[in-house]
Chains A and B, each alone.
Chain A
Amino acid sequence: MEFIRNFPFFSIILAMFCGIVSSVLKGQWAKRLCLAMVTAELFLSAAVLMYTLHTGESFTYMMGHFPAPWGNEIRAGVLEALTATGFSAIMLLSLLGGISHVFTDVEGTKTNLFFILVDLLMSSLLALIYTNDLFTAYVFVEINTIAACGLIMIKQDGHGIVAAIRYMVMSLLGSGMFLISLTLLYDITGHLLMEPAGEATAMIQAAGAYDVPLLVVIGLMSVGLAIKSGLYPFHSWIPETYGYATPASSAILSSLVSKGYIFLLIKVFYRVIGYGTVISSGVLNILFVFGLFGMLMGSIRAIRETDTRRMVAYSSVAQIGYIYMGIGLGTQAGMVAAIFHIFTHAATKSMLFISAVGLYEVSGGKTDYISLRGSGYRNRTAGIAFAAGALSMVGFPMLSGFISKLLFATAAVQSPHKMVFTILGLAVSTILNAIYFLRLVISIYSPSEREYGPDQSHQASKMLKVSSFLFIVVNLVLGLFSKPIVDSINAGLGMFL
């Protein structure tokens, strides 16, 4: 066995180990360890990506001395490696951009706790991506949920605590549904590893036994993970959570945590339940409708917001709607578009949250439209990054948002029953996106007569500039060189089957 096959395992265990060690470190050292860890994850995942692209097939990795149906297992293919690489890159950039605020928002003696949470969150995201075992997935969903709660409330003001409680209630509801569906699935298949469970599901499907439990499993699993990722009717925790946490937490939560659950859902659909069964169950149609509603309602709520951070948060509701709409199309092309949009949204939304912070810094810490007037001139890098992010969300060519909208539209043509709704939804939602994002962009570039005191921006704002710049580069790469990425998503989905 090549040594490189150990890398997925190394990356999970490295993140956990760093989290454990950080409990005795001082804040600054925990920060350094965390940044080094995420950089290492980036290289490890990139190496796995190169390896899987080179060999053209996925591999499983036995966690211990016992083979598949008895012991734990992880699995890496092109799609897993690609997602892990993208997530580590975005995690690194979000941390870099928000790190100076971590040290002002978090109580001095508790900064190392923030980095413990980030380390363990990273490990759980990687485990959700690489896992080949349903129960391992559940354990890491738990870690993910608790870590996310901690990241929300670590600012320790009233808003943060309320947001964390909301998040906890909704998220635990989702975890509970996921757990019930796993229990039911185990009861009718007798397996927890994904491959044998998939075979058993195919067998009971062919025999026609247990149709009702299987339908309930699919439903509960979709709804549970949809609640956790913030699909439209279950979105009520999103604005508070993303709007009031410390910027690095907002960026990480909106771009990575919710996407980890969606990735898990896709993996379970393909590898356990079987994509054909999922389509014939009709659950995808419900996800499609909710996704469409999310696209419209999220944008409408975003238009009505006066606070820009809450506006960006509401825009997440719309974008999650796009992803579920793509999944709901029920075709390979729709799934590819949805996965591409996972990357687009992850890269763009974290860029918006981070660069918006640069604008608040030069506007006396205010976050409403009026105070932000002219801030694009006061902090040029952040202004450009925010404008680029907004244009990408609207779907401006050359940026990543354009490619995902194009992919959605192309995918819609292939599913005749849903074509009209998808295209109409895309069109209306694009216009709504343009209304609130471009309004803000115009606002930050309208000259303002207000005087702002001497620049009290953070000393480490250089990091913010660097990360804003890198975010723009990531967006351009996704927008201009989308072909190899879409090809590898296709290849990765092929390996799922």
Chain B
Amino acid sequence: MSRLRNDYENSRFHRFEKWVDGEAAPTELKLETKEPVWRRPPEELSGPKLNEEKINAAVYDERHNKELKYFRVVNRLASVVLCLMLIGVLLWTVVYLPEFGNPDNPINNEVSARYIEKGVEETGATNFVTGMILDYRAFDTFGESCVLFIAATCVQVLMRLDNSDDREKMKKKQAEENDRIYEPKNDLILQKVSCVLVPLLFIFGIYIILNGHLSPGGGFSGGAIIGSGLILYLNAFGFKKTERFFTEKTFRRITLAALTFYCLAKSYSFFTGANHLESGIPLGTPGAILSSGLILPLNICVGLVVACTMYAFYTLFRKGGM
């Protein structure tokens, strides 16, 4: 005996019948009209109705959201298994790799030989690593500086609070300002220590950048040291004092100038190199401070970009601006 159903309107046959009669198109079946319980329309989520608990309850409602239940169990298990398998595969590979430090290894070939033997003569830099990253493979390093630049851009997209007509946004900005109402804390120990440390950090950073082609170091490491000096100074004396010499305008001008110089200088060098022209940039005596052609100015550019980016990250996360 067949079961009686009391929701004939929803039955498949009824829908088919309606379609045959021309009353409804197959595209208008329940499939399209039903709103999943857990995906609320976006307008409910914004504005004053934003209630974290309510949203969480709706999002993590496993009863209505089968996908979530599936996700929680299967995907977690699968991710652990996959990670273990990947670890296993990589460990298995290591066994078959060339032995570390063996002189017959494939990496000890003509490439590294020329970097070491002719590096000083061809780039003018006594530090091979700097010669390699800023002369032999300068294009990659330009790419890396652009990575920093684009990372700073993305953080600005996310964190920068600008003046706008939107009241919500201005409120947020106001709240961020109020957050620092008692700053600087004028901590005596911090201020005295940073009075000593900050100049030292700056000098050390500048030394590392300027000596990048002579001794270990270079733009990336020196820039990071200068950036940390700036952050220490900011923490000790507050935004009012740093804003006297470092605002967003300064940041933009410095990055623009440094990257533009890098771009133009290296384009000139790439262009002359590829077309077999003399670049006319003197290499100087290896070991002297003014030597190794473009490497010194490029190191300065990289250092400026790194220092500014570090400081910008800190201030953007701190107050949404510079």
Contacts and interface: CB of A to CB of B under 8 A. Distances in A.
B260 A21 contact: yes
Contact of A370 (B32, B106, B163): B32
Contacts of B275: 1, 6
A456 B33 CA distance: 25
A153 B158 contact: yes
B170 interface: no
A211 B95 CA distance: 12
A64 interface: yes
Interface in B114-170: 114-115, 122, 135-140, 142-144, 146-147, 149-151, 153-154, 156-158, 160, 162-164
B7 interface: no
Given A13-B263, A109-B164, A187 B270 contact: no
Interface stretch (B192-200, B220-228, B251-259): B251-259
A149 B154 contact: yes
A42 to B, nearest CB: 21
B277 to A, nearest CB: 10
Interface in A164-192: 180, 184, 186-191
Contact of B27 (A149, A187, A443): A443
Interface stretch (B86-94, B204-212, B238-246): B86-94
B153 A117 contact: yes
Nearest to B156: A113
A143 interface: yes
A143 B153 CA distance: 12
Given A62-B274, A190-B107, A72 B137 contact: yes
Contact of A120 (B137, B150, B252, B253): B150
A143 B32 CA distance: 39
Given A64-B139, A64-B269, A439-B27, A143 B146 contact: yes
B93 A143 contact: no
Given A13-B263, A140-B143, A216-B93, A110 B156 contact: yes
B222 to A, nearest CB: 21
Interface string A49-89: 00000000000011111100111100000000000000000
B269 A65 contact: yes
B270 A64 contact: yes
A149 to B, nearest CB: 6
A120 to B, nearest CB: 5
B270 A116 contact: no
Contact of B150 (A62, A143, A186, A304): A143
Contacts of B107: 186-187, 190
B256 A20 contact: yes
Contact of B157 (A23, A72, A150): A150
B260 A17 contact: yes
Interface residues of B, number: 70
Contacts of B271: 6, 9
Contacts of A135: 137, 140
Contact of B162 (A65, A109, A210): A109
A113 B136 contact: no
B301 to A, nearest CB: 11
Interface stretch (A154-162, A320-328, A389-397): A154-162
Nearest to B115: A70
B216 interface: no
A120 B146 contact: yes
Nearest to B89: A216
Nearest to B25: A446
B270 A370 contact: no
Nearest to B160: A110
A23 B276 CA distance: 34
A491 B129 CA distance: 40
Given A6-B274, A64-B135, A190-B107, A24 B151 contact: no
Given A21-B260, A210-B96, A370-B32, A63 B154 contact: no
Interface in B90-105: 90, 92-93, 95-98, 105
Contacts of B21: none
Contacts of A200: 106
Contacts of B115: 70
B269 A113 contact: no
Choose among A17, A66, A116, A123 the residue with the greatest number of B CB atoms under 10 Å from its CB.
A66
Contacts of A17: 260, 263
Contacts of A64: 135-136, 138-139, 269-270, 273-274
A276 interface: no
B247 to A, nearest CB: 14
Interface in A1-60: 1, 5-6, 9, 13, 16-17, 19-21, 23-24
A136 interface: yes
Contacts of A156: 157-158
B106 A187 contact: yes
Contacts of A204: 106
B109 A190 contact: yes
A159 B276 contact: no
Nearest to B28: A370
A70 B274 contact: no
A370 B139 contact: no
Contacts of A1: 274-276
Nearest to A233: B78
B251 to A, nearest CB: 9
Nearest to B276: A1
A16 B147 CA distance: 11
Contacts of B143: 127, 136, 139-140, 142-143
Contacts of A216: 89-90, 93
B139 A63 contact: yes
Contacts of B92: 212
Contacts of B260: 17, 20-21
22 contacts: A1-B274, A6-B275, A13-B267, A16-B142, A19-B146, A20-B263, A24-B252, A64-B139, A64-B269, A69-B110, A71-B136, A109-B164, A123-B146, A135-B137, A158-B42, A212-B93, A213-B93, A213-B97, A306-B32, A306-B34, A368-B32, A439-B27
3 A-B pairs closest in CB distance: A139-B143, A65-B273, A190-B106
Interface of A: 1, 5-6, 9, 13, 16-17, 19-21, 23-24, 61-66, 69-72, 107-110, 113, 116-117, 120, 123, 127, 133, 135-136, 139-140, 142-143, 146-147, 149-150, 153-154, 156-159, 161, 180, 184, 186-191, 196, 200, 204, 210-213, 216, 219, 304, 306, 368-370, 439, 442-443, 446
Given A117-B157, A142-B143, 20 more contacts: A1-B275, A9-B274, A13-B267, A19-B146, A71-B136, A71-B137, A107-B162, A120-B149, A139-B143, A150-B153, A187-B97, A189-B106, A190-B107, A190-B112, A213-B97, A219-B89, A306-B31, A369-B32, A370-B33, A446-B27
